[in-house]
Amino acid sequence: MIGGFQNIPKIPELKKRIIFTLFMLAVYRLGCHIPTPGIDGAALAAFFSGKQGTLFGLFDMFSGGALSQMSVMALGIMPYISASIILELMTVVVPYLERLKKEGEQGRKKITQYTRYGTVVLSIVQGLGIAIGLENMSSPGGAMIVPSGGWGFRLLTVVTLTAGTSFLMWLGEQITERGIGNGISLIIFAGIVAGLPVAVGNSFRLIGTGEVSVFFMVLLLALMIAVVGMIVFVERGQRRITVQYAKRIVGRKMYGGQSTHLPLKVNTAGVIPPIFASSIIMFPATIANFLNQEDFPWLQSIVNALAPGHVVYSLIYVGFIFFFCYFYTAVHFNPVDVADNMKRQGGFIPGIRPGKNTAEYIDWILTRITFLGAIYVSAVCILPTILIFQLNVPFYFGGTALLIVVGVAMDTTNQIETHMLTRHYEGFMKKGLGKAR
């Protein structure tokens, strides 16, 4: 692997792409520290200090701390992700979008354009909601977060936050086109990893004060490495279905006859299920912050039951993860379309009749491996909760963040390795393995 990193500077194009990516990420981190006008920073920091178990804490993690500082990039890239997911789900029910998805490059460009429009609309709506919410919020000491409210402040906040999200969307597209890796994913990656130095510093502080022993911290580090290894192993896991293509003669040449495979990922849904599950299960706790709990005593009992670490929270969280794993897989992967495309190209699964029987066979396999994928995602997401609230240990990365960080790192490393292998340089893996592939 060290030799692989040493080969990176030998490829000018790859070197230029990596430097460009790092520069764009540095611009993003710089923008996270530019505050939105009209907000009392001290009162805002005091308000966010106790909101880690709500949607505020979740969105603040994805924005790299920009939301707790209410910077110009406080909305982060989440509106773009939400717009992308909404459009992808709509392709199932809207025939026009379904046709665009099948039109190739031109169709994808059109869907990307609609995604940008949707991002701006969602940013305006969320920005207005945040502006109105900030006017009604105060710190635990009673200081108002917005000293001078009104429509002037609201319009300025909406324009500022929408411009910040649009700029982030542009940064992500530039990284994807001119840099290395997926730009949107790398922005989320940078936002999550930005809190790592603080977490490491807190861990050393706890060791210094004697609250946590060195042996226990080493044991925790070994457990984290094991969890990361499990994520890498499962994310690379595939169920390969053998596909045989029939021979056909065109003129004097014979085509087909080769055997290949159809790869089905164990975790087809990726990180979407835990993100959706976290958002839904944290919604009651977020609403409780805007209501007087003395007027709604029953709401407090619901909030306590849905707090991380509670048994009810864990059961509902796992249930939502299973539901969204199957739901998103059904939307993202259509066995009927795969079977039809295979039939048109003269391919078939040995022992399975083409057409409907092939689609049912693929769906049967996909259902089984999705069940295993849902168990894996649930285990990764529940483990940090057990460590934090049951064993009372400092654990920085939540399950969703860990899946994103490891997944993005694997994808970016694969792209770098592809650039090096294309130019006959040794990749990150051993030389023999690189040649074999």
How far, in Å, CA of 420 to CA of 427, rounded? 6
**pLDDT of 100:** 84
**pLDDT of 248:** 64
**pLDDT of 299:** 67
237-395 folds as: Preprotein translocase SecY subunit (1.10.3370)
How far, in Å, CA of 341 to CA of 239, rounded? 19
CATH for 1-195 is 1.10.3370.10
Per-residue 3-state assignment (H helix, E strand, C coil) for the chain: CHHHHHHHHHCHHHHHHHHHHHHHHHHHHHHCCCECCCCCHHHHHHHHCCCCCCHHHHHHHHCCCHHHHCECCCCCCHHHHHHHHHHHHHHHHCHHHHHHHCCCHHHHHHHHHHHHHHHHHHHHHHHHHHHHHHHCCECCCCCECCCCCCHHHHHHHHHHHHHHHHHHHHHHHHHHHHCCCCHHHHHHHHHHHCCHHHHHHHHHHHHHHCCCCHHHHHHHHHHHHHHHHHHHHHHCCEEEEEEEECCEEECCEEECCCEEEEEEECCCCCCHHHHHHHHHHHHHHHHHCCCCCCCCHHHHHHHHHCCCCCHHHHHHHHHHHHHHHHHHHHHHCCHHHHHHHHHHCCEECCCCCCCHHHHHHHHHHHHHHHHHHHHHHHHHHHHHHHHHHHCCCCCCCCHHHHHHHHHHHHHHHHHHHHHHHHCCCCCCCCHHHHHHC
* Fold match flag (1-195 vs 237-395): yes
Nearest of 159, 183, 132, 192 to residue 72 by alpha carbon: 159
Q: Taking the chain, what is the end-to-end CA distance rounded to the nearest angstrom?
A: 16
Nearest of 384, 269, 379, 383 to residue 331 by alpha carbon: 269
How far, in Å, CA of 75 to CA of 80, rounded? 10
**pLDDT of 437:** 36
What pTM was estimated for this model as a whole?
0.77
CB-CB neighbours of 400 under 10 Å = 23
Cβ-based neighbours of 35, under 8 Å, separated by 6 or more = 41, 69, 70, 71, 72
**pLDDT of 436:** 38
**pLDDT of 435:** 41
Pick out the chain residues at pLDDT < 50: 431-437
Cβ-based neighbours of 38, under 8 Å, separated by 6 or more = 146, 147, 148, 153, 156, 157
Q: CA of 344: how far to CAs of 349, 354, 382, in Å? A: 13, 10, 44
Domain definitions of the chain by residue range:
1-195, 237-395
How far, in Å, CA of 266 to CA of 368, rounded? 9
Q: CA of 350: how far to CAs of 173, 246, 343, in Å? A: 42, 11, 13
